[in-house]
Structure 1
Amino acid sequence: MLSNNSKILLRIITTVYNSGIRKYVTPPKRFYRKTGVVTSNGKYEITLDQRKLKTPNGSPFYVESEPLAIAIATEWDAQKEVVDRSSMHLTALSSTVIDNPNNLQKTDIINYLVNYLNTDTVLFHSGEEESLKKLQTSEWDPVVNWFNERYQVQLTATDGLEIPSFPPGTAMNISRYLTSYNEAALHGFMFAVDTIKSIILTCACVDRFITPEKAVLLARLEEEYQQGYWGRVEWAHDVQQLDSQARLAAAVLMIHLNSSNVFIKHKNI
């Protein structure tokens, strides 16, 4: 028979286990038949049947880019029996721009992105495994060299734990480039950087130097190298890789569809 202490411990474990199970919320069933886009005063709203979409905070949901509105409506239309909000990255990004839960200003986002260079994935090479370092040099250095030429900076990689040092003017050059984007696009930059841990790879994607698929592989280079040595759990690693690709692709799309060249301007007659 179990002692009193064992019974108490068993009840605690059971309670925690059951509580963990209840945390998984079942996605809501699809409650609309069709999606649409309506426009008014230069803003585009998403409709689910006759109801207009709202943000998580209850604010009216709108974007200022018609192509982006169509892409968001497509996200909602692509839902099947249930509505999986975790797969609708453009909807989530646009809601974040409107609700701005962290009260971020444009300068806050730019500073965050520029400061990310101190921990950028592709600037930290292996200092222990020579074969891994050789792989990193061959795969990462071309992107870093492109970034240096594109943004007139001089970034160099390190094979130690110390933070890389950059010449004066580096932050200013990159900040000047980022300032040309509006806040919605900058949220896309931030989402991309958080996904692949690299402002360098993000900019390479935005400028179409590499594809999102390639960027994710470069960001996962050390992980892929270790998996090649120790073995790969295909279903788990494939899901992670595809999820990162989807997030990064949505972020890049968010940036492009919030850039000035996609806004439709109507001339007054």
Structure 2
Amino acid sequence: MAEWKAKRFWKEAKAVRGPDGWDVQLDGRPVKTPAKAPLVLPSQALAEAIAAEWDALEEAVDPSIMPLTRSANAAIDKVATQFDEVAALIAAYGETDLLCYRAEGPEALCAQQAAAWDDLLDWAREDLGAPLEVCVGVVPHAQPEESVARLRHEVASLDAFALTALHDLVAMSGSLLIGLAALRGRLPEEDLWARSRVDENFQESQWGADEEASVTASFKRGEFLHAVRFYRLSQALPAN
């Protein structure tokens, strides 16, 4: 972890094309991850954005203001080294996806859930080939095995950088389908985030805002939006 405590010693950070991808170099010296692996990035866009994070540092290396660097480190040091386990963990959300569990009432909440979630379930059925069943309540409901297998395949087909982004999208939203929709650009990320918050927003409209819950929600929103940006940069995709 000494790298993370280092004072700034470089004059210029820049993205450089390497034999296996894109490197970030500090005065010609390639950056490495905390595990001392080469920080090799899949796109010029991501490498340039990470170089900008390093260039913006004034004194010490501070991971708290380097979100793209942190995500790239996670992709290389953690996700790539245990890809199958991470993919299985994320895919398991499809067996109990948030969008499938509906409230018994009140009627206004039921209507808001349907308006926010039904078209995403339609998309899963039509585009992903993974129809999921809706139930009322919170008791786990078994989903069709073919659909679960299709979602597993969808997750496993990603690269380590995309899987890193999906991990955060799913963890923040509670929904594999919302995470996959974000990667696919199905809807703008702010729209998808709002759809993940239907229950919480309804409760807030009824009982008022809770300061601690609001702080948590703001943090999760930031992480969700960052994950979309990290994914798009890693794939060299334009902003939605």
TM-score, with length taken from structure 1 = 0.73
Q: Equivalent residue for 1:55?
A: 33
Query: Cα distance, 1:131 vs. partner?
Result: 2.4
Pair 1:194-2:171 in alignment: yes
Match of 2:123 in 1: 146
* 1:202-224 deviation line (CA, Å, top 9, x unaligned): 11111212122112211122111
Q: Deviations over 1:154-206 (max 9, x none)?
A: 21222212212222311222233333322222222112111211111111111
Tell whether 2:201 aligns with 1:224: yes
Q: Cα–Cα, structure 1 residues 170 and 81, in superposed 2: closer, same or farther, change >3 Å?
A: same
Corresponding position: 1:249 with 2:225: yes
Identity over aligned residues, as a percent?
26
- Give the C-alpha shift of residue 51 in structure 1: 4.3
Partners in 1 of 2:44 and 2:111 — Cα distance? 45
CA contact (8 A) 2:79 2:86 kept: no
Structure-to-structure mapping, 1:100-179, within 5 angstroms: 100=78, 103-105=81-83, 107-179=84-156
Among candidates 38, 49, 54, match of residue 76 of structure 1 = 54
**Aligned partner letter, 2:25:** T
Which among 64, 79, 82 is matched to residue 86 of structure 1?
64
Q: Hey, what's the Cα distance between the residues in 2 that align with 1:236 and 1:52?
A: 41
Q: Choose from 75, 78, 82 the match for 1:97.
A: 75
| Residue identity in the other structure for 2:220 | S
How far apart are the structure 1 equivalents of 2:204 and 2:102?
Answer: 17
Long gaps (5+) in structure 1? 1-26, 263-269
- What is the letter of the counterpart of residue 230 of structure 2? M
Aligned-partner SS, 1:200: helix
1:176–1:112 Cα change, 3 Å? same
Secondary structure of 2:75's counterpart equals helix
Q: Secondary structure at the match of 1:62?
A: coil
Does the 8 Å contact 1:216/1:244 carry over to 2?
no
SS at match of 1:181: coil
TM-score (norm 2): 0.81
Q: Secondary structure at the match of 2:16?
A: strand
Preserved contact between residue 91 and residue 151 of structure 2 (Cα < 8 Å): yes
Aligned residues: 233
SS in 2 for 1:100: helix
Conservation of the 8 A alpha-carbon contact between 1:212 and 1:245: no
In structure 2, stretches of 5+ residues that fail to align are none
1:36 to 6, 14, 21: 14
Query: 1:86: how far off?
Result: 2.8
Contact persistence 2:79–2:160 (CA under 8 A): no
- Measured on the aligned residues, the alpha-carbon RMSD in Å equals 2.9
State the Cα distance separating 1:111 from its structure 2 match: 2.0
SS across alignment from 2:113: helix
